Structure 1
Amino acid sequence: MLNIFEVNETNQMIEQEQLDVRTITMGISLLDCCDRDLDKLNENIYRKITTYAKELVSTGQAIEREYGIPIVNKRISVTPIALVGGCACKSSQDYVTIARTLDRAAHEVGVNFIGGYSALVSKGMTPAEELLIRSIPQALSETERVCSSVNVGSTKTGIDMDAVRLMGEMIKATAEATRENDSMGCAKLVVFCNAPDDNPFMAGAFHGVTEGDAVINVGVSGPGVVKCALEQVRGANFEVLCETIKKTAFKITRVGQLVAQEASRRLGVPFGIIDLSLAPTPAVGDSVGQILEEIGLEQVGAPGTTAALALLNDQVKKGGVMASSYVGGLSGAFIPVSEDQHMIDAAACGCLTLEKLEAMTCVCSVGLDMIAIPGDTTASTISGIIADEAAIGMVNQKTTAVRVIPAVGKSVGDTVEFGGLLGYAPVMPVNTRSCEAFVTRGGRIPAPIHSFKN
């Protein structure tokens, strides 16, 4: 039973501490849309998305009004398009027509992003999957709301280094294709290891092939709530600190559970998972970096940052798991540089480096996220960065990812502007020593010995 104290506490979280439901994401299977005729395939895709998601936005808005809980984004994820288009697409240009169809459907139903322009190539690429990957620069430059992801490795299969090399090239090509907009296309492109099937967050969301025909996944976020709670126990020992984070995460997750169940009921679509990720925004008081500083760091990037982030991530997950039977996705803490004002400040003054961020990704939810790098960074260097992150994920049995923006025409000290939730970012220095001989060897890095469990 709810009491008046809990109601008032939730209202305070929403009104003063930046609590929101970051996204309601409807996952839609497109497997039954497959057809050898490209025009028919596009027609099937458009019809299914616009039929299933026609009331997604209006339902989210109605829940916002009735419960007073902000729902920032309404999104769609679909079956990886490399699989859906395999029969019909004989060229990269054919895949681009599907990207345009996805974008048109997203505009029609009013969602802000649609994810799933994706390929899963952790062990090797089919010709169809390679065609989709090579189409990504054009697809992202010609669409507004389409997001793309490629999974290049997993703990069970190892890392497909041919795909890693190709993705370095495609990220460079995407940056060039969208150079007039600060290489914005790269902000909608993420490279994964161990990509989850039920992630509601962009740019990496896709509807996994093990999922049902449709599902509702909800991502809830509350860095400001956690930060305010920690202010009340400033100077306390680690036991008190951990209990405070855990209890706060529990309360945040319960809000997400309410929204998820209500959206599921109204839309007639099964509820999938709650993703409790502390996802920051550029807004004041909505920062994961600020939480780490409240824990005791002078600034993010100082010695102790990785330990503080590990503590935060673990307690967030423990609190969330107690609040819902279906916690999934990428639950934990995100560290996107461009979307977090305290991370931006630390990167701009040199306290937070790319190497420190890589260390932090060993213990956080995902990986190197929304990081602007010099536009003249080579494709092989980007591939090396991807390989490093994929190795962290593969060996540690966790999801890791890379979303870097080689900003064309920009160098260290410059700033790239994306606007909205994506914010802005200082261009960070990158180690320029070559790794080309490594990433061009070809083949696959084998799975680690502890992957053999059956």
Structure 2
Amino acid sequence: MINILEAKETVDMIARENLDVRTITMGISLLDCIDSDLGRLCDNIYNKITSRAAKLVKTGEEISKEYGIPIVHKRISVTPIGLIGASACRTPDDFVQIARTLDKAAKKVGVNFLGGFSAIVSKGMTPAEENLIRSIPKALAETDVVCSSVNVGSTKTGIDMDAVRLLGEMVLQTAEYTKEQDSLGCAKLVIFCNAPDDNPFMAGAFHGVTEGDTVINVGVSGPGVVKTALQAVRGESFEVLCETIKKTAFKVTRVGQLVAKEASERLGVPFGIVDLSLAPTPAIGDSVADILQEIGVDYAGAPGTTAALALLNDQVKKGGVMASSYVGGLSGAFIPVSEDQGMIDAVNAGALHLEKLEAMTCVCSVGLDMIAIPGDTKASTISGIIADEMAIGMVNQKTTAVRLIPVIGKGVGDTVEFGGLLGHAPIMPVSSFGCERFVSRKGRIPAPIHSFKN
């Protein structure tokens, strides 16, 4: 039971500390939509999404109004289209047609984003999956709410370097295709290692083949809540610090559990997981970087930052896992640059660089996220950055990801404005030294020795 003091505490979190449920994401399997005729396939996809998700947005709004809990986004994830389109798509343009169908269906039901224009190629690409990857620049340029992801590595299989090399080129092409919008298309493309099947957060969400037909996943957030709690114990021991984060994460996750169960019951769809990641926004006071400063570093990027982030990530998971019957997705702390004002401030102060961010990704929830880089960066350099991040995930048995935005026509010292939850970002410098001879090698990087656990 929740007593009156706990209820008041939750109200305060919502009113003054930016507590929200970041997303209700409905996962929808499209396996039963598969058809060898592209027209019929697109019709099947449209009909299933619009029928299954017809009440998703309305239900989310009703729950938000009744409980007074902000639910920022309502989203859909679908089975990776690299699988769904394999029998019908012969060219990249065929996959673009599916992307348009997904965009049309998402707009029909009114969701903010739809994820799953994806391929799982951690050990190799089928011809269809290669065509999907090659279609990404055009697909993201010609749609508004469709998001794309490609899993190119895992601890069990190693890293598909052919896919990594190709994606370096595709990231640049996506930037070029959407250059009139400051290369915004790249903000909707994530490259993963060890991608989870049940992630509710965009742009990396897809509905894994291990999932049921339809499922409800919820992503909570609350960096501002954690920061406020830590202000009350400033200067205390690590024991007190850790206990405070755990207790706060528990309370935040309970809100997500409540919303997930309500949405599940009202929609008649099974409850999947609560992802208890601390997901920042550009709003002042809603920053993971601010939490790190409250823990004791001058800026994100200062010595001690990686240790502070590791502590934060671990305590969030320890506290949150007790508050929900099913925890999954990514769960921990996100460190996107453009979406976190504290991270932006750290970059502008000269405290945070790409190399330090890479070190921090060893202990955070995802990886190099929403980082704007010069538009003239080479494709091989982008591939090298992707490979580095994939190696961190592969060896450490964790999810890592890359969402780089080479902004065409802009360089170091410029700032790019994406708007909304995507925020704004300073253009960060990348190394001037190349890796073309490395990424041009064909084949894959083998799985690490500790992967052999059968």
Common fold: TM-score over 0.5 = yes
CA distance in 2, matches of 1:135, 1:404: 18
Return the alpha-carbon distance in structure 1 between the equivalents of residues 82 and 102 of structure 2.
13
Q: How does 1:8-23 map to 2 (within 5 A)?
A: 8-23=8-23
**CA distance, structure 2, for counterparts of residue 424 and residue 348 of structure 1:** 12
| Matched residue type, 2:24 | I
Q: Which whole-Å deviations, capped at 9, do the CAs of 1:295-323 have from their partners, x for residues lacking one?
A: 00111110000000000000000001111
Aligned match of 1:220: 220
Taking the aligned partners of 1:37 and 1:126, their CA distance within structure 2 comes to 19
The equivalent residue for 2:295 is 295
Cα offset, 1:69, TM superposition: 0.3
Amino acid of the structure 2 residue aligned with 1:389? E
Shift of 1:237: 0.5
Looking at structure 2, the residues matched to 152 and 173 of structure 1 have their Cα atoms a distance apart, in angstroms, of: 18
Structure 2 distance, partners of 1:322, 1:40, is 45
Task: Answer yes or no: is the 8 Å Cα contact 1:348–1:413 preserved in 2.
Answer: no
Mapped partners of 1:368, 1:261: distance in 2: 32
Separation in structure 1 between the aligned mates of residue 286 and residue 441 of structure 2, nearest angstrom: 43
Once the two structures are superposed, the pairs formed by residues 29-428 of structure 1 within 5 Å of their partners are 29-428=29-428
- Separation (CA, whole Å) in 2 of partners of 1:325 and 1:152: 31
Q: How far apart, in 1, do the equivalents of 2:413 and 2:327 lie?
A: 40
Aligned-residue offset at 1:101: 0.3
Which residue of 1 is the match for residue 452 of structure 2?
Answer: 452
Once superposed, what is the RMSD of the aligned Cα atoms?
0.4
Q: Cα offset for 1:348? A: 1.8
Letter in 1 for 2:75: R
Q: Which residue of 2 aligns with 1:430?
A: 430
Q: Is the contact between residue 194 and residue 398 of structure 1 (CA under 8 Å) also seen in structure 2?
A: yes
Instruction: Note the alpha carbon deviations across 1:264-304, whole angstroms, 9 max, x for none.
Output: 00000000000001000000110000000000011111000
Q: Secondary structure at the match of 1:333?
A: coil
SS in 2 for 1:108: helix
CA distance in 2 between partners of 1:253 and 1:279 (Å): 13
CA–CA distance in 1 between the matches of 2:377 and 2:237? 44
Per-residue CA deviations over 1:64-96 (Å, capped at 9, x if unaligned) read 010000000000000000100000001000000
Structure 1 residue ranges, 4+ long, deviating more than 6 angstroms after superposition: none
**Matches of 2:169 and 2:182, distance apart in 1:** 18
The whole-number CA distance in structure 2 between the counterparts of 1:89 and 1:150 is: 18
Distance in 2 of aligned mates of 1:81 and 1:358:
30
Contact 1:155 1:395 (C-alpha < 8 Å) held by counterparts = yes
How many residues align structurally?
454
Output the CA distance in 2 between the equivalents of 1:332 and 1:380: 31
CA distance in 1 between partners of 2:212 and 2:220 (Å): 22
Q: Deviations for 1:52-73, whole angstroms, at most 9, x for unmatched residues?
A: 0000000000000100000000
Does structure 2 conserve the Cα–Cα contact (< 8 Å) formed by 1:20 and 1:72? yes
Percent of aligned positions with the same letter in both sequences? 79
CA distance in structure 1 between the partners assigned to 2:277 and 2:413 by the alignment: 30
Contact 1:290 1:342 in 2 (8 A): yes
Give, in whole Å, the separation in 1 of the partners of 2:432 and 2:329.
Answer: 34
SS at match of 2:205: coil
* 2:321 aligned counterpart, secondary structure: helix
Distance in 2 between residues matched to 1:185 and 1:350, nearest whole Å: 27
What one-letter code is carried by the residue in structure 2 that aligns with 1:234?
A: R
**Deviation digits for residues 157-209 of structure 1 (CA, Å, limit 9, x no counterpart):** 00000000000000000000000000000000000000000000000000000
Aligned-partner residue type, residue 356 of structure 1: K
Partner letter of residue 266 of structure 1?
R
8 Å CA contact retained: 1:380, 1:436: yes
Equivalent position amino acid for 1:36 in 2? S
Secondary structure class of the residue paired with 1:403: strand
Cα deviations across residues 16-54 of structure 1 (Å, max 9, x unaligned)? 110000000000000000000000000000000000000
- Local SS of the residue matching 2:75: strand
1:75, 1:392 → 2: CA distance?
29
Deviation of the 1:325 alpha carbon: 2.4
Distance 2:423 2:95 in 1: 30
3-state SS, counterpart of residue 277 of structure 2: strand
For residues 419-450 of structure 1, the C-alpha deviation after alignment (integer angstroms, 9 at most, x for no partner) is 00000000000002110000010101000000
Q: CA deviation at 1:349?
A: 2.4
Shift of 1:2: 1.2
Where do 5+ consecutive residues of structure 2 fail to align?
Answer: none
- Paired with 1:399 and 1:298, the residues of 2 have a C-alpha distance of 28
CA contact (8 A) 1:300 1:342 kept: yes
Cα distance, 1:324 vs. partner? 1.2
SS in structure 1 opposite 2:377? coil
Q: Which amino acid aligns with 2:90?
A: K
**Does the residue aligned with 1:339 lie in a helix, a strand or coil?**
coil
